Structure 1
Amino acid sequence: MKQYIKIIITCFVVWTSIGLSSCEKYLDKEDSTNISEKEAFKNFTNFQGFTEELYNCIVNFTNNYWTNSFNWGEDEITSTAGNFHFIHKIDDGNFWGWQAGFDGWGSGWMDKNNFSTANGRFNKDLWHAAWYGIRKANIGLANMDLMTDATQEEKNLIKGQLLFFRGWFHFRLIQYFGGLPYIDFVIPAGGEIRLERLHYNECADKAAADFRAAADLLPINWDNTAPGKRTLGKNGLRINKIMALGYLGKNYLWAGSPLMNYESTGSKTYNVDYCKKAADAFGELLSLTEGGTTQYSLVSLADYYKNFYTTGEGWALPGATEAIFRGPYSSANDSNWGTSKQYTPLIISEGDLKFVPTANYVDYYGMANGLPIPDITKADPESGYDPKFPWRGRDARFYNDIMFDGLKVVKGAIPDPAEQPNRFANLYTGGSYRDLNTGSRTGYVLRKFVPLTTNKYDHGYDWGYSLNIYVPYMRLADIYLMYAEAAAVGYGGATGATGKSPNFSKTAVEAINVIRDRATVEHVNAKFTSSIDLFLSEVRRERAVELAFEGHRFNDLRRWRLLIEKPYTLKKSVEFDRTGTFDEEDATNNEVANLREVVILERKFSEKHYWLPLKNVDVNMYAEFAQNPGW
C-alpha cells in the first residue's frame, strides 16, 4: 500500500475553464513557476484547481478499453473469441486475475501498470486511483486553514468535495476487499507504516461520517451558488448534496448486508440498525427529489435509453435527469469505438469479442402484469406466460434491453442479397447470430447500451452519429430500489413491504412500484407482501431487471451471500426451433418449438470467493495488513 500513497504534486486549473479537465498539463512546468502552499490554497480558484483532479480519478468502467467487461455475476458471458477479460477469470474461480501483475491485463479498469489522471480511458484504474485520491483529499483537508481569501460558501464547497471523495474511494475499495485501513490523515512520505485492517463496519462508519459531513456542506445544485454561477450550466458532474446522500445510504446498506455483516460481526443476516440508517439517508434524498427541489427525476420510458447512451446529440454525456453520479467523459475525445461493437454479433457488425446476456438472467424479466415466470419451458396460467410464444407479453424493459429471436434489426439497405436474412435476429438454435466464437452463445443479445442501428448496414456507430455510451455509477431508480430493500429490512418487520423511513412518505413496496409505473409494469403482487423473505425475493428480482448489466449484479450477489450458491453459479443458453409463420413486423408473434435451457458452465466457487484477494506485495509489508481468508 505504501507505493500508492506517495506525495501528490499539487496542480491548478483556472476555475473559469470549462468542465472537469485534468491537471496533468500543469504538472510539466518549470521550477520557477511553482508557488507556495500558502498561495496554492488561499482562495477558491486555486483550491478548486487542486480539487478537480479528483474527478479524473473516477474510473470510466464503461469504456476503459477497446472492449470492456463489468458484469461479473451470472448475468453475462462472452463469445469464445477472447479470454483475457476478468469475466473469464471469475468464471474459472481465479479472482487473482483482477491484478495487472498477474498477467499484465488484470480486470482492465480495476488495476493497471500505467496509472495517470490525464485524460484517456487507458490509464485509469480503481486500485491506484482510489489510493491516490484518498491521499489527495487528505492533503486538501489538512490545508483548509490556508484558505483565507474565501467566503464561507466557498470553503464549504471545497471541504464538502474533499470529504465526499475520501469516503467514496474508501467505499469503492472495501466493497471488493472488505475492511481496510481508513486513512483520514496525511501519512508522512517517509517512515514505517503499520495501519491495521479494520472490520468492514468500522470502515463504513468512518465513510458515513465523511458522506454525512459532505451532504451537510454541499448544495443540491452548484448552479445556485455564487462560485457555481461562474460555470453556469456546466456543474452537472460536481459533487453535491444528493450524491453525498446517495452514497451515505449505499454505504450503510452495504454495511448492513449479510456478507459485510458477517465479516464484521459473524452474523450472516442483515444488520437492522445499518438498514435503518440506510433507509433514512435514502428517505432524505427521495423526499427532496419528490418535493421538486432537486434537478433529478426519472426519465420517461421513451427516453430510458438516455440513461446509457446518446446519439445525434453532439456527444452529449448520457444520464439525462436520472443519473446522479458519473465521471467526466466525452466520446468525441476518447472513443467508445470498441464498446459500441462489443454487443452486436460479428455477422452484422465488427470485432470478434461479444458480450451477451445469459438465458438464466433474462428469465428474471417477468410479464407485463408484474408476475415472474416460474419456468420458461412451461405454461403459467397465473402470469399468462406461454412457452410457444416466449417473447409475448413481457415486461417492457425486456424489449428495451434484450434482442430476441426474429426481431428486425437492420432498418436500411443490405447490398448483398445473400445477407438479406441477417436483417432479422436469427437467434434460434443454429441461427446466423448464434456463432459461439463471434456471436451469441446464449440465444440473446444485449441492446440496452446501443441502438439497433449499431450495425455495419445502418452505421449507427459511425462518427457522424456521435454515439456516446456511458453507464452511470448511480441513478435515481437505484435509489428507490435500495430504499425499498433498506426500509423493508430496517422498518418492515415480519412482512417487509410496509416498512418505511420516518422521513419519507413511501413504503418499501410503494418505492418499487414507482419504478414499475415508469416501466408500465403492474405493481408487486400481493402474494409477495406477506413475508419479508418473499418480499426480498421480489426486491432482488426488481434490481436484476431494472439495473440489468449496469455493473451491480456481482456485488449484489456477493453482499447477499448468494454468489457461491446455485442457481447463481450457472450460466445457460436458450435453445429452440422456429415453427409456424414468421412475422417480420412483430417478432413476439413468432412461435417456437422445443424450448429448453442448457447449462454452458457452472462456476466452482467456495467461501473465499466472496472477497477479492489483495496484492501480495502489500500484505507482505506488515502483519496487520493481512490477506483475505483463503487466498
Structure 2
Amino acid sequence: MMKRINILLLALIFSACETYLDLAPELDIDEPDVFENYLSAQGYLDNCYRALNDYMYWKSQTVNRPHIAALSDEAATTYIYSKLVHVMNAGNWFNQSEALEVGYGDGSLGNREGYVISNAFYSIRIANKILKNVPEMNTISDAEEKELLGQAYFFRAWNYFEIIRRWGGMPLFDHVFVGDEELDLPRKTYQESTEWMLSDLDLAIDLLPNEWSEANTGRITKVAAMAVKSMASLYAASPLMNNPIGTVQNSGYNQQWAEKAAKYANEVLQYIDNELPAKKMMGEDLPEDQKADAYRFVFYHYPNFVSEESLWYLNSTGESRKNDMIIHFQNMRFSKNTGNYGWAITTPSQNIVDMFEVINTTDGQAYPFDDPNSGFSWSNPYNNRDPRFYNNILYPGREWGLFKDGTPMYLETWDGGADLSANVLRTVPTGYMCVKWWWPEANGYNNAGFSKYYYNTVYIRTTQIFLDYAEAMNEAYGPNLDPEGYGMTAVEAINRVRARVGMVPVNSKFTSSKELFRERIRNERAIELMWENHRWFDIRRWMIAEDLFNETYPIKGIHVIDQTPRVKTVPDKQFSYFPMDVTTETRAFDSKHYWYPIAKDHIDHLGNLEQNPGW
C-alpha cells in the first residue's frame, strides 16, 4: 500500500512549503527570485554551510557545554545536565526528538545549534532545489553554473552520509519531493546508498575548482569531495556497514569495498602530491628536532584561519573561540570563570591516555604501555610517551601557562590539589585536561592570550587520508603488500603519520599479520584523531563499542597522591599514581546502539522504511 507523508522530519524533504527558506540573512526575497541571478542562488545554497555540524562549538546540536568526545571512551564531562549524559550515554535514544545526534526535531533548524539529522535533511532539500533549478537559469555563466552545481552535489552527498552513518542505508533522496507525492520508499543497503552518494561526489569532483579566491575561503573544493569519497568508502567497507538491513552482526570487512577505499584514498594523496603540495601533512619535511613543536599548529594557527592540511572544514573566519575553549577545555582555576561557564569541562580519559605508546629508551622501540618490553612504570607514567601525548594531554604536575604575576601554573589534580574537588560538578573528573586546541597563553589571567590563535571545526585533514588508506590497504591486501602499485603499504602509511611528529616506526612485532596490525591502525587513529569527532563513529563501525563499554564504569581516570605535601614547588613533588573508575560516567551500549533509532511515527507512516534492529 502506498503511503502519504505527513510527518515532521520527512516534511523537511518532501513538503511543498519552504517554511525554512531563509536564504542568506541579508536576502529577503521569495523563492521565484532565488534563481534570478548567481548571487541570490549562491545565497540560498549558503544555508548548507550554516547548517553544518560545528562540533567544536559549545552549543552544537544543543549539547550545551560537553565536548562531543564525551560520547565515546575518549573523555568524561562534569556537565551532567546535558542530554549527552542523560540521554546518549544512558542509552535512552528512542523517540528523543530534541537530543543531540539522535534528535530529529526542527528546533534551531538550519543553524549550528540544530540537530545533525534534521539539518542534513534540510540541506539535502536545498541541494535538490539547486540541482533542479540552476540548469534552467539563463542569467549565469557556465563557470557559475558549475560552481553552484558542484557545491550542491557535494552537499547532497555529505548530508546523505551524515544520515546513513547514523541510521544505516536509506532511500535515495534524489529529487525535490512534494507533499502530495505518492511514496513507497524501501531502504537501500548501506553499500547501495554509498554507491549513489559516490556518484554525486564524482559529479562534484568534475565540477568543483581546485581552490577559491581568498574571499571564498572555506567553500568546497575538488579535494574535499575526493576526501569524502575516500572516507565514505572506508565506512562502507567496515564491519557494521557490511550487514543487510535488519541485521547487526560482525562479519568482518567487505573486501571489495576495502579495495575501493584504498584506491580512492590513494587518488587523494596523489592529487595532493601533484596538484596541492601545500596540503601535505604539516611538518613532514621539517628537521626531526622541529617536528613535535610544529605539530601543534595543525590544530591552532595564526594568521591563517585554517591549517594547511585541512581538506574539508567549517571556516569560522577568525571567530573567537574563547567561550568554546573555556567551556570545553578549562576548569574554573584556569579560566577564572564562574557558574556553568566556569565549572563545565570535558576531560581526557585514562582510556585515551593509555593508547599513547611508550618508547623504550634502551632499544628505541615503541610499545603499548602495558607491553612488558615497554619500560613503562607507574612511578613515572608520563615519561617517554609518543610526542602527540605531550601535544594533547595536560597531566598532573605539568606546567601550562602563567599567573598574572608571571609564576607558572600547574595542573593540580592530586588529593589536596587546587584542581581536585569533592564536588563532582567542580572537579577535573579524570585528572587530565585537553590542550590540543588550548595554547598556554590563553587563561583567565591573560585574557588577551585567547586571541593569539584561531581554531575551527575540521571534518577531514590530510593525515586522516593516510589513516584511511592504511586501514583499507590492510583489510584489502595485508600490512606489507601493495599489489596495485600505489607506492605505499599500510605499514608505510602509518609510519609516515608517525614520522611527521617525530615518532618512531611501528614496532615490527605488530606488522606480521592483518589482525595484529589492525589493532595498531585503530590505536593510531584514536590518538591522531583524538577529539576530532571520529572515535564515536569508529568504535561503532568497527563494532567494538560493546566490548569497550562492558563495565559498570568503563571510563577511567587517574588518582594521584602527593607523597611530599610539605614541598611547595610542584616540579619537586613526588606522586603516586593509581588508575581509577570515573563513577560519574556510564555508557549504556548494546547491539541495538550501533545504529540510531528511526522515530516510531516515521516507521508507522512509511511501511517499507524498516526500523533498525532492537528499536
- By the TM > 0.5 criterion, same fold? yes
Aligned match of 1:3 in 1, 11, 17? 11
Structure 2 SS opposite 1:95: coil
**447-456 vs 395-404, greater mean Cα deviation:** 447-456
> Which residue does the alignment assign to 1:431?
417
Instruction: State how far apart, in whole Å, the 1-side matches of 2:527 and 2:273 are.
Output: 23
Structure 1 SS opposite 2:494: helix
Question: In the alignment, is the contact (CA less than 8 A) between 1:577 and 1:592 conserved in 2?
Answer: yes
Amino acid at match of 2:73: E
Amino acid at match of 2:263: D
| 1:466 Cα deviation from its structure 2 partner | 5.8
Q: How many residues align?
A: 577
> Which residue does the alignment assign to 1:135?
125
| 1:506 Cα deviation from its structure 2 partner | 1.5
> Which residue does the alignment assign to 1:74?
73
Aligned match of 1:382 in 357, 373, 387? 373
Aligned match of 1:259 in 227, 236, 240? 240
| 1:395 Cα deviation from its structure 2 partner | 0.8
| 1:583 Cα deviation from its structure 2 partner | 10
Gaps of 5+ in 1: 14-21, 101-105, 223-231
For the pair 1:188 / 2:178, whether they are aligned, the reply is yes
Question: In the alignment, is the contact (CA less than 8 A) between 1:10 and 1:50 conserved in 2?
Answer: no
Aligned match of 2:522 in 526, 540, 544? 540
**237-246 vs 192-201, greater mean Cα deviation:** 192-201
> Which residue does the alignment assign to 1:572?
556
Structure 2 SS opposite 1:597: strand
> Which residue does the alignment assign to 2:271?
288
Amino acid at match of 1:367: V
Instruction: State how far apart, in whole Å, the 1-side matches of 2:251 and 2:134 are.
Output: 42
For the pair 1:441 / 2:429, whether they are aligned, the reply is yes
> Which residue does the alignment assign to 2:144?
154
Question: In the alignment, is the contact (CA less than 8 A) between 2:16 and 2:177 conserved in 1?
Answer: no
Structure 2 SS opposite 1:565: helix
Instruction: State how far apart, in whole Å, the 2-side matches of 1:197 and 1:214 are.
Output: 25
> Which residue does the alignment assign to 2:6?
none
Aligned match of 1:554 in 536, 540, 551? 536
Instruction: Give aligned-pair identity as a percent.
Output: 27
For the pair 1:497 / 2:479, whether they are aligned, the reply is yes
Gaps of 5+ in 2: 1-8, 284-291
Amino acid at match of 2:426: T
Cα shift readout 1:373-431 (whole Å, capped 9, x = no counterpart): 343xxxx662232221111111111111100011122413359xxxx8x9321122443
Instruction: State how far apart, in whole Å, the 2-side matches of 1:362 and 1:597 are.
Output: 13
Instruction: State how far apart, in whole Å, the 1-side matches of 2:507 and 2:533 are.
Output: 27
> Which residue does the alignment assign to 1:402?
393
Cα shift readout 1:277-321 (whole Å, capped 9, x = no counterpart): 11111100101112353541222343433333346x4xx53x310
For the pair 1:277 / 2:260, whether they are aligned, the reply is yes
| 1:112 Cα deviation from its structure 2 partner | 5.3
Amino acid at match of 1:372: Y
> Which residue does the alignment assign to 2:348?
357
Question: In the alignment, is the contact (CA less than 8 A) between 1:11 and 1:50 conserved in 2?
Answer: no
Question: In the alignment, is the contact (CA less than 8 A) between 1:575 and 1:598 conserved in 2?
Answer: no
Summarize the alignment of residues 471-510 of structure 1 with structure 2, pairs less than 5 Å apart: 471-490=457-476, 492=477, 496-500=478-482, 502=484, 504-510=486-492
Structure 2 SS opposite 1:437: coil
> Which residue does the alignment assign to 1:209?
199
For the pair 1:611 / 2:595, whether they are aligned, the reply is yes
Q: CA RMSD in A?
A: 3.1
Q: 1:135 to 1:113 in 2, by over 3 A?
A: closer
Amino acid at match of 2:49: Y
> Which residue does the alignment assign to 1:61?
55
Structure 2 SS opposite 1:48: helix
Amino acid at match of 1:280: K
Amino acid at match of 1:476: T
> Which residue does the alignment assign to 1:340?
326
Amino acid at match of 2:11: Q
Summarize the alignment of residues 12-51 of structure 1 with structure 2, pairs less than 5 Å apart: 23-27=24-28, 29=29, 35=32, 40=35, 44-51=38-45
Instruction: State how far apart, in whole Å, the 2-side matches of 1:541 and 1:186 are.
Output: 42
Cα shift readout 1:479-506 (whole Å, capped 9, x = no counterpart): 110110011112x2xxx21244736321
Q: 1:64 to 1:183 in 2, by over 3 A?
A: farther
Question: In the alignment, is the contact (CA less than 8 A) between 2:104 and 2:118 conserved in 1?
Answer: yes
For the pair 1:200 / 2:190, whether they are aligned, the reply is yes
Instruction: State how far apart, in whole Å, the 2-side matches of 1:98 and 1:308 are.
Output: 33
| 1:542 Cα deviation from its structure 2 partner | 0.2
Instruction: State how far apart, in whole Å, the 2-side matches of 1:11 and 1:577 are.
Output: 56
Structure 1 SS opposite 2:605: coil
Instruction: State how far apart, in whole Å, the 1-side matches of 2:577 and 2:345 are.
Output: 26
Amino acid at match of 1:431: G
Amino acid at match of 2:556: K
Amino acid at match of 2:295: Y
| 1:9 Cα deviation from its structure 2 partner | 5.0
Structure 2 SS opposite 1:472: strand
Amino acid at match of 1:477: T
Instruction: State how far apart, in whole Å, the 1-side matches of 2:138 and 2:613 are.
Output: 48
Amino acid at match of 1:207: M
Amino acid at match of 2:76: I
Question: In the alignment, is the contact (CA less than 8 A) between 1:410 and 1:457 conserved in 2?
Answer: no
Structure 2 SS opposite 1:207: helix
Instruction: State how far apart, in whole Å, the 1-side matches of 2:250 and 2:429 are.
Output: 39
Structure 2 SS opposite 1:473: strand
Question: In the alignment, is the contact (CA less than 8 A) between 1:488 and 1:500 conserved in 2?
Answer: no
Instruction: State how far apart, in whole Å, the 2-side matches of 1:578 and 1:127 are.
Output: 47
> Which residue does the alignment assign to 1:175?
165
Q: 1:538 to 1:195 in 2, by over 3 A?
A: same
Q: 1:298 to 1:595 in 2, by over 3 A?
A: same
Question: In the alignment, is the contact (CA less than 8 A) between 2:103 and 2:117 conserved in 1?
Answer: yes
Structure 2 SS opposite 1:626: coil
> Which residue does the alignment assign to 1:322?
309
Q: 1:430 to 1:471 in 2, by over 3 A?
A: farther
Amino acid at match of 1:157: E
Question: In the alignment, is the contact (CA less than 8 A) between 2:106 and 2:118 conserved in 1?
Answer: no
Structure 1 SS opposite 2:561: strand
Q: 1:505 to 1:521 in 2, by over 3 A?
A: same
Question: In the alignment, is the contact (CA less than 8 A) between 1:68 and 1:339 conserved in 2?
Answer: no
Question: TM-score, normalising length from structure 2?
Answer: 0.85
Instruction: State how far apart, in whole Å, the 2-side matches of 1:501 and 1:173 are.
Output: 34
Instruction: State how far apart, in whole Å, the 2-side matches of 1:403 and 1:582 are.
Output: 24
Cα shift readout 1:143-186 (whole Å, capped 9, x = no counterpart): 24314455544333222211111111100011011112221112
Question: TM-score, normalising length from structure 1?
Answer: 0.83
Amino acid at match of 1:322: E
Q: 1:2 to 1:92 in 2, by over 3 A?
A: closer
Instruction: State how far apart, in whole Å, the 1-side matches of 2:568 and 2:262 are.
Output: 47
> Which residue does the alignment assign to 2:5?
none
Structure 2 SS opposite 1:58: coil
Q: 1:36 to 1:571 in 2, by over 3 A?
A: closer
> Which residue does the alignment assign to 2:286?
none
Cα shift readout 1:220-269 (whole Å, capped 9, x = no counterpart): 223xxxxxxxxx22333121211111111111110110001024586621
For the pair 1:236 / 2:208, whether they are aligned, the reply is no
Structure 1 SS opposite 2:580: strand
